[in-house]
Amino acid sequence: MSAYIRYIKCLAATRGDPIHAKHLAAQQYGPSSDVVRLFEKALVVTTADMPPDPDFASAGRQIIELVRKRSLIGKVADAFPFRKVPFNTHVMAQSSAPTASWTAEGQLIQTTSTAWEREFLNRLKLDCLAPLTDESVKGQGADFESMISRDLVRAIAELEGSSFIDPANAGVANQKPASVTNGLTPVTGTADPKIDVDNLIDGFAGDLETAVMVARPKDGIALQASGYINAGARGGDVAGIPLVTSTAVPAGVVALVDPAGILLADGGVTLDMSDQTTIHFGPDSNDEYTVVSLFQENLVAVLAQRYLNWKTVRTGAVSYISGATW
């Protein structure tokens, strides 16, 4: 289990008191545990311009890996990497692939026809806020740790995946990126997986050597039944193209995605907690919110935040089927 999740759990159980939280961590996980070492680092006064502590950085990467295992973006990146870029930094991105040419001795070398565009990905985030009772975080910790690693991570991964692939996601300026399929003309789906796969590949203008197919788990099973024996509910390949599956993919949608033509800025995942915040529950059926004081209600809230943005920069890098009825 992630040391950082246990670190947050101990803070929550002691209502944010780092000294008591350190003692609790020593009791539950051992005086030499990674959790105790995080509290020892946290209790040391540091300056804002110091580099990130390596223990905290390592613990944070464990949270990222939990998300990656469920994340559609993480699964695609495992098959073939995206073009990683930093947040809030202008970068020159190729909007078309460069070309090479043979040159005779003494002749001019031909200039590549590749095109470049200046791109900028600002820092966007998605959040998952979970209020918990004091009792739920003051026990042995297994239930709390399972809730964080299962429920919060799942919620973040599912929203991340649907936002990335759902054609209905047109994005919101400075809040949420549009999906990579939004605005594209889809291939009309049928009831026959083989026909749809052939049509999808025929209409794909990206690079099949770096492309990844994306579908729902049930579609993976349908692909296997239709003769693509290496496909299945958990992925595999379709005609040699890596297949990744996710419940975040809308029904009837199957996509070909070339990660080499997509910029991705990934700031990872952070966890935080508070027992002093006032939060709004809702909206209810009347579109109204209930305001709750965590302190008065004897609650703590755990907040997971995912920092992420993407943009398709190469024409033809994504194609998708809509309306498949496999």
Mean pLDDT of 247-267: 95
CB 192 within 8 A of CB 226: yes
Residue 106 falls inside a structural domain? no
Q: Regarding predicted confidence, which is higher, 25 or 54?
A: 25
Residue from 310, 225, 312, 217 nearest 267 by CA:
310
User: Which of 15-24, 55-64, 216-225 comes out lowest in average pLDDT?
Assistant: 55-64
CB 60 within 8 A of CB 46: no
Please state, in angstroms and rounded to a whole number, the distance separating the CA atoms of residues 279 and 230.
48
The whole-model pTM stands at 0.78
At 5-28, the pLDDT tens digits run 787 778 777 877 888 888 888 888
Over pLDDT 90: what percentage of the chain?
45
Per-residue pLDDT at 59 exceeds 70: no
Mean pLDDT of 210-237: 97
Please state, in angstroms and rounded to a whole number, the distance separating the CA atoms of residues 123 and 89.
10
Q: Residue 48: pLDDT band by 50, 70, 90 thresholds?
A: very low
Residue 43 falls inside a structural domain? yes
Q: How many CB atoms lie within 10 A of CB 47?
A: 5
The token pair that represents 250 in the structure block: 């809308």
Residue 107 falls inside a structural domain? no
Mean pLDDT score across all residues of the chain: 83
Q: What is the domain extent for residue 250? A: 1-94+116-326
User: Which of 93-97, 152-156, 177-181 comes out lowest in average pLDDT?
Assistant: 93-97
Residue 16 falls inside a structural domain? yes
At 292-326, the pLDDT tens digits run 887 777 777 778 888 999 999 998 999 999 999 98
Residue from 182, 186, 223, 208 nearest 319 by CA:
186
Residue 322 falls inside a structural domain? yes
Residue 100 falls inside a structural domain? no
Residue 208 falls inside a structural domain? yes
Cis peptide before 250 (omega within 30 of 0): no
H helix or E strand, kind and range, residue 79: helix 72-79
**CA angle, corner 116, sides to 114 and 119, nearest 5?**
150
Please state, in angstroms and rounded to a whole number, the distance separating the CA atoms of residues 171 and 162.
12
Return the pLDDT at 145: 67
The conformation of residue 275, written as its DSSP 8-state character, comes to S
Please state, in angstroms and rounded to a whole number, the distance separating the CA atoms of residues 122 and 65.
23
Per-residue pLDDT at 140 exceeds 60: no
Mean pLDDT of 151-168: 91
Return the pLDDT at 115: 61
Q: How many domains does the chain have?
A: 1
Mean pLDDT of 113-139: 76
Return the pLDDT at 49: 43
Please state, in angstroms and rounded to a whole number, the distance separating the CA atoms of residues 190 and 307.
37
Per-residue pLDDT at 105 exceeds 60: yes
Per-residue pLDDT at 47 exceeds 50: no
Residue 216 falls inside a structural domain? yes
Please state, in angstroms and rounded to a whole number, the distance separating the CA atoms of residues 78 and 91.
24
